[in-house]
Amino acid sequence: MFTESAELYDLIYSSFKDYGTEAAQIAALLESIDPVYRTVLDVACGTGEHARLLAEIHGFTVDGLDLNPEFLRIARAKNPAGQFFEADMSDFHLPTRYDVILCLFSSIGYVKTLDRVAQTLRCFRNHLAGDGVVILEPWFPPDKMRTGHHSERTGQSPDVRVRRVGTTEVDGRLSRLRFEYTIENGSGTRQATEVHELGLFTIDEMLAAFAAAGLIGPLHHRRNACGICRGGTNGRTPTRGSRRSRSVHCPDCCLTSA
């Protein structure tokens, strides 16, 4: 995964990803669902940038969880008030229950299989407070991804310059992203490669996994409300949920449910 690039992550993503706007839109979405929500667990938190903004700017109490110790080191430095746990999102046991569980920027894809998605959502359910909510930003469904997609990103600080070239391969229900890095700093230039594998799940499969985990309820759909969505609802009517608690589902972007 991010074996070569954890310390370069913020440099690369801050060049094109607007964490400030995303955090503001998440805060507004949460406010509209229930203004008393306060505690947040950011699962697969990476370097803790959403966590930092949600805490510093929007007043939430935010903890985080990630598999990668290097990301956690950075996240802890940015978020001294939060607790950041090293754990696998599909199998974790924390002492606290949260109003809100976030799993953003397609991190769910990294669990690769639907069985592990189901396991992950059960874990989320077990860590939610009574009337809590999950916001999950999915990876692409199988029909939206193709082999041969090419991307190029650069990032620069006074000390280091990085260029990342990405290519995508689709292998059945798995997408494979190959990243080639060129990293230049005071001591020279080095090359590095990472291969990331993410599972491709349909919206119906994701919704079924939410339901199977007990994460379903009356639905509130807000078109493009999350700010992390990728292009609206394609004209589909959002499914109406039912039963015990609340959920929000934007069919092409975020799934929020409790």
Give the C-alpha separation, 19 to 95, whole Å. Answer: 28
Nearest-approach distance from CB 92 to ligand SAM, in angstroms: 8
Which of 8, 23, 41, 44 is the binder for ligand SAM (CB under 6 A)?
A: 44
Nearest-approach distance from CB 252 to ligand SAM, in angstroms: 18
Which of 26, 29, 33, 89 is the binder for ligand SAM (CB under 6 A)?
A: 89
Give the C-alpha separation, 246 to 134, whole Å. Answer: 10
Nearer to ligand SAM, 52 or 246 (CB): 52
3-state secondary structure 48-65: CHHHHHHHHCCCCEEEEE
Secondary structure class of 204 (helix, strand, coil): helix
From the list 25-33, 105-113, 170-178, 250-258, the region that binds ligand SAM by CB under 6 A is: 105-113
Q: Taking the CA atoms of 62, 97, 242 and 35 in sequence, report the sign of the dihedral they define.
A: negative
Contact flag: residue 68 with ligand SAM (CB under 6 A):
yes
Contact flag: residue 107 with ligand SAM (CB under 6 A):
yes
From the list 64-72, 154-162, 201-209, 211-219, the region that binds ligand SAM by CB under 6 A is: 64-72
Nearest-approach distance from CB 52 to ligand SAM, in angstroms: 11
Q: How many CA atoms lie within 13 A of 151 on its CB side?
A: 16
Compose the 2-41 pattern: x for residues touching ligand SAM by CB under 6 A, - for all others: x---------------------------------------
Q: Tokens standing for 39?
A: 């505690």
* CB-closest chain residue to ligand SAM: 46
Contacts of 255 (CB under 8 A, 6+ apart): 134, 135, 136, 138, 206, 207, 210, 247, 248, 249
Which of 56, 88, 131, 184 is the binder for ligand SAM (CB under 6 A)?
A: 88
Place of tokens 């379903």: 216
Site for ligand SAM in 177-196 (CB under 6 A): none
Under 8 Å between Cβ of 168 and 149: yes
Nearer to ligand SAM, 62 or 216 (CB): 62
Q: What angle do CA 241, 246, 248 make, to 5 degrees?
A: 70
Buried b or exposed e, range 110-124, using 16+ CB within 10 angstroms: bbbebebbbbbbbbb
Contact flag: residue 212 with ligand SAM (CB under 6 A):
no
Which of 8, 54, 63, 71 is the binder for ligand SAM (CB under 6 A)?
A: 71
Q: Where along the sequence are the contacts to ligand SAM (CB under 6 A)?
A: 1-2, 44-46, 49-50, 66-68, 71, 88-90, 104-105, 107, 110-111
